[in-house]
Amino acid sequence: MESNALNTGWFLSLLTLQVTVVLAAGLAASYLLRSHPARAHRALTLALVAVVVLPAATWSVRCLDIGFLEGTPASSTGSFAQLPTFSESPIETGAMADTESPVTRDAASGTSAPTRSSAHTTVWQSAIPWLWGAASAFAGLYFLLSFFGGLRILRSARLVTDAPYTDGARHASDKLRLAVTPTIFASTAVRCPSVWCWRVHPALLVPAEDQADRDTDWATLFTHELAHYVRRDHLADLLSALVLVALPWHPLAWWARNRLALLSEDACDDWALTTNGTDAAGYAESLLQVAVQPRPAFVQAMASNRSHLVRRIRRITTADVFRPRVGRTWSACAALLLVCVVVAAALAQPGTTAGNATNESSERTASNASMERALELAKALSDQRGDEEAVAAIRSELNELAGGFQVGENLLMNSGFENGDGLVPESWAVRNESLIQFEWNDGAGFAATRGVHITKTEGKFPYATLVQTIDSPGEDCLVQLIAHVKANEVGKAVLDLVFLDEKGEWVYHIWAQAIGEPWENGTHDWKQHVAYAYVPSGTKKIEVSAQMYWPGELWLDNIELREVKP
């Protein structure tokens, strides 16, 4: 469950889909309800609330593992969630000839390195979090500076006490049933009536030039502005800004913010017309006298966009009815719908509680198919030993495939040659010892530990062998042979596996790894070889051996044999 919850790529993909659907639904609802701006604004605001709440809800469902869909998302860290692909034929002409195992170890530490089948993070994948973070930081900084810009306007403004303004503000606050008549300020940075809602009591802002003698319906204009405070439009504005900071790359988030601002102006126009009983034509004429004010964020201005202003005037002069209120029943139903949508969206994800049996079954099916393919490839190795390209192709596919399997415990005794009190390491034997110089001492092994050093100076046959015989882990199974090897001018040496029946007779044998020409350079520093082999039917014992055919020097350490399991 933990690995699934931490699957970041899958989680972000799910969230992207969720917020896209929710934003699209909210925008669609706002257009369907365009004849009732207050409800359209509320529907879009609730969609933005869902965008903010959904990540936490989805994460909680994921951590609690209570999603109701069957199956679990593919995990990039699981052993079997991303099995390598493999071909249908055991041999692919022109396949990679690289026989180096995907399981390699650091020469100094002995720790496993990433397999060749692991997906490396690309440049653009690495850049995405940085670009996203930079865009979010830029958007957050913009809104923060814009907020302080509004504060600066308010602090630099002068108090206004002229009767036309104060009478209009008093009339508007009475109509809207505000407890306190708002204070009025004039500023050279303001070109049209605006309201600053980020105080205990709102503050009205008017242009600094003297407009008291103009024939302006200040009561209606101030009613429009104070309606923003009553409706809490500044909070919806803040919510849309937070969504943009979180999703600066999402076009629907920008669209939603722009649409929300337009709907709030339409709704406040309805408040101004219905509360004051103002004639629509007269109110439209008052709007024509208003100058457009590109407002800072979080300052509700009478007109912040010319095209929006033209559209509002057209709507005011053509609409038959104005409905400023959302309605309690409608609000309750919309809130309940929001809860249902958030819960359903959060639960609409895979969970092992719902699909554990199905997941385990599908994993077993995939693992069994992969193991069958691996066994097929291992069998094919014995038939292609004379074809170098075919062997390379088979080994490459087998190594890649088996790299995703589990391996059992080491079956060999004294793999590191550390134990023993004679001339040969405990549990090991040397055959044809007279043909070689055999050394077993400290410093001869990998990383300067105790190891075996074999020197052969002449002759191709007979060959000398360091061997250990063990019980077979089973029949028709796959085993992994690992060995640290160092070579100097080795003509030919092999790591060999001999499979014996219950009578000790050969069933089959395979050179799991060849060292020296023409297979590989006969001189190299410590190198870990990893090879896989098929254990045929009837096998009761396995001989694991290192064989020297031609002259050269060979150092051996850490020879292990393990059963491979899906």
Q: Is 447 left (phi over 0), alpha (psi -120 to 50) or beta?
A: left
| Interval 415-469: pLDDT, tens | 999 999 888 999 999 988 888 889 998 888 898 889 999 998 887 666 778 999 9
Residues in Cβ contact with 59 at an 8 Å cutoff, skipping those fewer than 6 apart: 5, 11
* pLDDT above 80 (res 354): no
Count H helices and E strands in the chain, helices first.
13, 16
Distance in angstroms (rounded) separating the CA atoms of residues 127 and 129: 6
* pLDDT over 60 at 92, yes or no: no
Q: For 121, which DSSP code?
A: P
Q: What angle do CA 430, 475, 116 make, to 5 degrees?
A: 80
pLDDT, residue 8, reads 65
| Burial degree of 230 (CB within 10 A; 0-12, 13-18, 19+) | middle
What one-letter code names the amino acid at 405? Answer: F
Q: What is the pLDDT, as a whole number, of residue 518? A: 62
**What are the domain boundaries of the chain?**
128-306, 410-565
Q: What is the percentage of the chain residues whose pLDDT exceeds 70?
A: 81
pLDDT in tens, 236-254: 999 999 999 999 999 999 9
* Confidence at residue 83, expressed as pLDDT on a 0 to 100 scale: 33
b (16+ CB within 10 A) / e for 177-210: ebeebbbbbbbebbbbbbbbbeeeebbbbbbbee
Q: Taking a C-beta distance cutoff of 8 angstroms, is the pair 96, 392 a contact? A: yes
Amino acid identity of residue 121, one-letter, is T
Residue 42 scores a pLDDT above 90? yes
Give the pLDDT of residue 210.
62
Mean pLDDT of the chain: 81
Banded model confidence at residue 19, pLDDT cuts 50, 70, 90: very high
pLDDT reported for residue 432? 86
Higher pLDDT, 465 or 263: 263
Predicted TM-score of the model (pTM): 0.57
Per-residue pLDDT at 367 = 66
543 bridge partner residues:
469, 498
DSSP state of 464: E
Q: Which homologous superfamily is 410-565 in? A: Galactose-binding domain-like (2.60.120.260)
Most confident of 312-316, 334-338, 420-424: 334-338
Cα-based distances in Å from 217 to 162, 258, 278: 14, 28, 9
**Residue 213 confidence (pLDDT):** 53
> What is residue 4's predicted lDDT score, i.e. its pLDDT?
42
Q: Which long-range contacts (CB under 8 A, 24 or more apart) does 95-99 make?
A: 95/392, 95/393, 95/396, 95/397, 96/392, 96/393, 96/396, 97/388, 97/389, 97/392, 97/393, 97/396, 98/392, 98/396, 99/391, 99/392, 99/395, 99/396, 99/399
| Predicted pLDDT at 81 | 34
Residue 163 pLDDT greater than 50, yes or no: yes
Q: Is 546 exposed, middle or buried (0-12, 13-18, 19+ CB in 10 A)?
A: buried
Q: How many Cβ atoms sit within 10 Å of the Cβ of residue 251?
A: 10
3-state secondary structure (DSSP) of residue 201: coil
Nearest in space to 116 (alpha carbons), one of 370, 396, 390: 396
- The predicted model gives 285-293 an average pLDDT of 78
Predicted local confidence at residue 217, as pLDDT = 82
Calpha distance 14→10 (Å, rounded) = 6
Structure tokens at 91: 């041999």
